[in-house]
Structure formats: structure tokens, C-alpha cells
Amino acid sequence: MPVDVCLELYGDKSVVLPFFTGQVAEGLLLHVVRQVDPNAANVLHELDVSKPYSVTPLRFRSVSWIEKWLCF
């Protein structure tokens, strides 16, 4: 059964990420799965098998000056 999960994440501080964030997104997915079932995370991480999931690169939105001002 295909499932589509979208997360909207907010950082507590600025971070520098690589230009291509697909590996970061995959790492986040596997980290969440590992919290629930470490064995499942290991199976999903195996390199010699076709992955039963896909991830998309992270997208960013810059914070406007008014949002910075409102978040005191």
C-alpha cells in the first residue's frame, strides 16, 4: 500500500546543508524508523537491495524580516 508522508520542519537555529539534500532526507527517515524498529531501519539501509521507499530533497523557505520581528 503506497503512502505519502509530508513533514514540515522548523529549525531552532541556522544550519549549513549540502546543495543536494536527498541523503539528509533519507537519513532523517531512517532515524525516525530506527526509533521505532532498529531492525527495520537496518533492512531499509541495506545497499544491495532495491529500496521500498523514496525521498525528495528538502525544500527551504527563508524567514522574512517581519517573521523574525514577531518571533521575539
Contact at 8 Å (CB) between 58 and 24? Answer: yes
Q: How confident is the model at residue 31 (pLDDT cuts 50, 70, 90)?
A: very high
Q: How far is CA 6 from the centre of its chain?
A: 9
- Predicted confidence (pLDDT) per residue in 52-69, tens digit: 888 888 777 666 655 555
What size, in residues, is the chain? 72
pLDDT bin (cut points 50, 70, 90) of residue 36 is very high
**Average pLDDT of the residues in 29-55:** 90
